[in-house]
Amino acid sequence: MTSPSYRYRALLIANARFPEADPQELPELHGPPRDVTAVAEVLTDANVGLFDAADVMRLEDQPHWEINKQVQRFFSASAPDDVLLMYFSGHGRLDALGKLYLCTQNTQPDLLWATGIAFDSIDSLITTSPAKRVVIVLDCCHSGTFRGGGGESMTGRGHYLITSTREVQLAADEDGQGQPSPFTRQFVAAIREPGAPGPLSVPELYRRISAGFEQRGGPAPTAPVLRRG
């Protein structure tokens, strides 16, 4: 049951089309639309979810300025007892310094600073957000870079990051079977997996995701990083 003092809010971002980029550099993806649908459904499922539909916002194939605006609103307009989940599915790219950028509908790989979403900017918003409980889930290439690339680290109490890849790995897209991407499929399955009563903790969620990948013989995602202020 949801604690009466908590409000669960989610921002789900997916980008599958990149018309301003060379398709060889940013090819169109099949998974993101299915990914956000699957995540939204499980978060609002009356049996396993903790989120009201009105508190789950979806952004699909939007330009970087619209996503930046909504991300800032999401984190700044929160309350201390909010539980925030930000999920991203799409391409991730690194700049020359190894900084992670999330790609948007108008991203151009040679203009990442101007047309992408710098993840260290998102981290700054997380750090200054009134919300004490934040979970970030990244299903994109190079998503594990944030743990080490560029000297970045996650710090702060109650803040978690789960990524679909290690630092130099590429994330797998949907395999043509009409399903979400492999990581998101396992993420959703982990939430639906029967377990102890009460809200699912992030470490337990990660344990379930990792166990699912081990059973399939695929690579496990990076471990969630607990922020310790």
pLDDT digits (tens, 9 = 90+) for 66-99: 999 999 999 999 999 999 999 999 999 998 988 8
Host domain of residue 59: 7-216
- Residue 228 located in a structural domain: no
Q: How many domains does the chain have?
A: 1
How confident is the prediction for the chain on average, in pLDDT?
82
- Residue 227 located in a structural domain: no
Counts of helices then strands in the chain (DSSP H, E):
6, 8
Label the pairing between strands 100-102 and 7-14: unpaired
- Residue 54 located in a structural domain: yes
C-alpha dihedral sign at 154, 158, 159, 165: positive
Using CB atoms within 10 Å of the CB of residue 153, give its burial: 0 to 12 exposed, 13 to 18 middle, 19+ buried.
exposed
**Whether the predicted pLDDT of 142 surpasses 70:** no
pLDDT digits (tens, 9 = 90+) for 164-219: 765 444 444 445 556 788 889 999 999 998 876 667 888 888 888 888 877 776 66
pTM: 0.85
- Residue 229 located in a structural domain: no
- Residue 35 located in a structural domain: yes
Q: For residue 116, what pLDDT is reported?
A: 96
- Residue 193 located in a structural domain: yes
Q: Say which CATH number the domain at 65 has.
A: 3.40.50.1460
